[in-house]
Chain A
Amino acid sequence: MSNVPDDRKYTDSHEWLRLEQDGTVTVGVTHYAQESLGDLVFVETPQVGRRLKAGEACAVVESVKAASDTYAPIAGEVVEANSRLAEEPERINSSPYEEGWIMRIQPDDASDIEHLLDPEDYEQLLAEAK
Chain B
Amino acid sequence: MGYRTALYDKHSEAGARIVGFAGWDMPIQYASQIEEHRAVRRDAGLFDVSHMAIVELTGAEIKDCLRYLLANDVAKLKEQGKALYTCLLNERGGVLDDLIVYRLADGHYRGVLNAATRDKDLAWIRAQSKTFRAQVEYRDDLAMLAVQGPEARDKVLRVLPSDVAAGARTLAPFTGCERGGVFASRTGYTGEDGYEIMLPADHAPALWDALREQGVHPCGLGARDTLRIEAGMNLYGQDMNETVTPLECGLAWTVAWGPAERDFIGREALEAQRRAGVQHKLVGLVLEARGVIRAHQGVRAGELAGTVTSGSFAPTLGKSIGLARVPIDIGERCEVEIRDRFLPARVVKPPFVRRGRILV
Q: How far is the CB of B230 from chain A (nearest CB, A)?
A: 12
> Which of the 9-residue segments B28-36, B107-115, B245-253 touches chain A?
B28-36
Is there contact, CB below 8 Å, between B222 and A41?
no
Q: Indicate if the CB atoms of B294 and A41 lie closer than 8 Å.
A: no
With A67-B294, A86-B290 already in contact, the answer to whether A38 and B222 are too (CB < 8 A) is: yes
Query: Which segment of A46-54, A57-65, A96-104 sits at the interface?
Result: A57-65
Q: How far apart are the CA atoms of A39 and B315 in the complex, in Å?
A: 10
Question: Cβ of B292 and Cβ of A65 under 8 Å apart?
Answer: no
Q: Indicate if the CB atoms of B313 and A42 lie closer than 8 Å.
A: yes
- A67-B290 contact given A38-B29, A39-B33, A41-B313, CB 8 Å threshold: no
Q: Give the contacting residue for A65; candidates B33, B290, B315, B339; CB below 8 A.
A: B33
The answer to whether B161 has its CB under 8 Å from any CB of chain A is no
Q: Which of A60, A66, A86 touches B339 (beta carbons < 8 Å)?
A: A60
Quick one: which of B25-59 are within 8 Å of A by CB?
28-29, 32-34, 37
Q: Give the B interface residue count (CB, 8 A).
A: 17
Residue contact B33 to A42, C-beta cutoff 8 Å: no
Enumerate chain B residues within 8 angstroms of A38, measured Cβ to Cβ. Answer: 29, 32-33, 222
| Minimum distance in angstroms from B310 CB to a CB of chain A | 13
A residues 58-81 near B (Cβ < 8 Å) are 60, 62-67
Q: Return chain A residues, CB-CB under 8 Å to B33.
A: 38-39, 63-65
Report if A64-B315 is in contact (Cβ < 8 Å); known contacts: A39-B32, A39-B34: yes
How many A residues are at the interface, by size bracket?
Answer: 10 to 19
Q: With A and B bound together, what is the CA distance between A39 and B318 in angstroms?
A: 13
Chain A nearest CB from B180 CB (Å) reads 39
- For residue B312, CB closer than 8 A to chain A, the reply is yes
Cβ-defined contact, A62 with B292, below 8 A? yes
Q: Please, which residues of chain B bring their CB within 8 A of the CB of A64?
A: 33-34, 37, 222, 226, 312-313, 315
Chain B residue at smallest Cβ distance from A93: B32
B304-360 contacts to A, CB under 8 A, are 312-313, 315, 320, 339
Residues of A with C-beta under 8 A to B292: 41-42, 62, 67
Name the B residues within 8 Å of A65 (CB-CB).
28, 33, 222
Measured in the bound complex, the distance between the Cα atoms of B37 and A67 in whole Å is: 19
B23 at the interface (CB under 8 A from A): no
B291 contacts the other chain (Cβ, under 8 Å)? yes
Q: Other than the known A38-B222, A42-B292, A62-B313, what 10 A-B pairs have Cβ atoms closer than 8 Å?
A: A39-B33, A41-B292, A42-B290, A60-B339, A64-B34, A64-B226, A64-B312, A65-B222, A66-B294, A67-B292
Q: List 29 A-B contacts (CB under 8 A).
A: A38-B29, A38-B32, A38-B33, A38-B222, A39-B32, A39-B34, A41-B34, A41-B320, A42-B290, A42-B291, A42-B292, A42-B313, A42-B320, A44-B290, A44-B339, A62-B292, A63-B33, A64-B33, A64-B34, A64-B37, A64-B226, A64-B312, A64-B313, A64-B315, A65-B28, A65-B33, A65-B222, A66-B294, A67-B294
